[in-house]
Amino acid sequence: MARRPGWRAIKRHRSYTYEEAARALRTHKNTIAHWAKSRGLPVLTGGKPHIILGCDLIDFLRARKERHRVRLKPGEFYCFGCKTARRSAEGLVEALPGDTGPVNLRAICPACEQLMHRRVARARIGEFCADLSLTV
């Protein structure tokens, strides 16, 4: 999935129609309309054109990002299948070869059995794998 411009693409002191907001965020105007109708994005006008304030849109996008963010603890991976933090199945973690820089770790999700990846700073690998069995 391509990374979309986030709230930084929106100007706080501007107002936007759905079309303008969609263009700035490179999304569809129906997405903006959906946020307004069902997700609590404030709209100034009852009819067309629907006007939303830049500051409202920024607050909405930031709150949304905050909700979606998953903080990983040491030993945890983000599973794209489950869309949440998971520990590896049976504590098994594999480190991919490489001598310098962050270490690429690989593990299997215990719930959906997808491969999960995480990069960990080499200096923190001991802390990360404290209660895992690491194979290289």
**Could you list the residues that contact Zn ion (CB under 5 A)?**
79, 81-82, 109, 111-112
Cβ-based nearer residue to Zn ion, 96 or 115: 115
- Least spacing, CB of residue 77 vs Zn ion, in Å: 9
Tokens read off for 63: 């709150």
Instruction: Taking the CA atoms of 29, 32, 36 and 39 in sequence, report the sign of the dihedral they define.
Output: positive
Cβ-based nearer residue to Zn ion, 55 or 82: 82
CA quadruple 9, 12, 13, 18: dihedral, nearest 10: 60
Q: How far apart are the first and last CA of the chain?
A: 30
Q: Which residue of the chain is nearest Zn ion when measured via CB? A: 109
Cβ-based nearer residue to Zn ion, 9 or 85: 85
Cβ-based nearer residue to Zn ion, 109 or 129: 109
CA distance 83 to 31: 21
Question: Strand 92-95 vs strand 103-108: parallel, antiparallel, or unpaired?
Answer: antiparallel
Q: Strand, coil or helix: what is 82? A: coil
